[in-house]
Chains A and B, each alone.
Chain A
Amino acid sequence: DIVMTQSPLSLPVTPGEPASISCRSSQSLLHNNGYNYLDWYLQRPGQSPQLLIHLGSNRASGVPDRFSGSGSGTDFTLKISRVEAEDVGVYYCMQALQSPTFGPGTKVDFK
């Protein structure tokens, strides 16, 4: 299995300020087609997860452009340019190169 780790596990944020979450995989997620098989999800309180980013850096339909994904190989980052109230929740990275596995989650809430 590919093991996913995230840091930090808890991220207090200030509305309007930027935020960043790191995700690392135990094996490279770079496919020979040139794509990184890394996705990001947000699970708001009491809701099911929703897709934010797929293939490392592609925003899903309807996702605000304040969210961006970057990275390649084994190291990836999710950035929020200016945190808003609706961004509170748990963020998960997931690899889809092999049988999908998720990171432990990063809980984002306001200071």
Chain B
Amino acid sequence: QVQLQESGPGLVKPSETLSLTCKVSGGSISRGAYYWSWIRQHPGRGLEWLGYIYYSGSTYYNPSLKSRVIISIDTAENQFSLTLNSVTVADTAVYYCARTPGHLNYFDPWGRGTLVTVSS
């Protein structure tokens, strides 16, 4: 059973860079059938897809965040990462990683999520 676990700093200062990692266990991230996604949830609000990456390194980003988001993959460590540049308080959210069985498809399973607060 594939499991995903997010990790990274819980507090980031405005204008700085948010960096998170998602460790995948129970299956290889290099298996060609899947894309690996980042999704966030602002406090008390809905869900926003940020982007995903294929094991080859191909990426697809939410157009509204594309200029600030980078998703990378480390097949040797079986993990993938999120970088979000120039953060503001509006980027405070719970960040989830998830698996996607192909381009433009559902998210399953999800990690437990990690809260990132942007504050000085």
Contact = CB atoms under 8 A, between A and B. Distances in A.
Contacts of A73: none
Interface string A29-47: 0000000010101000001
A97 B104 CA distance: 6
Contacts of B62: 99
B106 A51 contact: yes
A60 B108 contact: yes
A48 B112 contact: yes
Contacts of A50: 108-110
Interface of B: 46-49, 60, 62-64, 96, 104-113
13 contacts: A1-B64, A41-B107, A48-B96, A48-B113, A49-B47, A51-B107, A51-B109, A54-B108, A94-B47, A100-B104, A100-B107, A102-B47, A102-B48
Given A50-B109, A92-B47, 20 more contacts: A1-B63, A1-B64, A37-B104, A39-B107, A48-B96, A48-B110, A49-B47, A49-B107, A50-B110, A54-B105, A60-B108, A94-B47, A96-B105, A99-B49, A100-B49, A100-B107, A102-B48, A102-B49, A103-B46, A104-B46
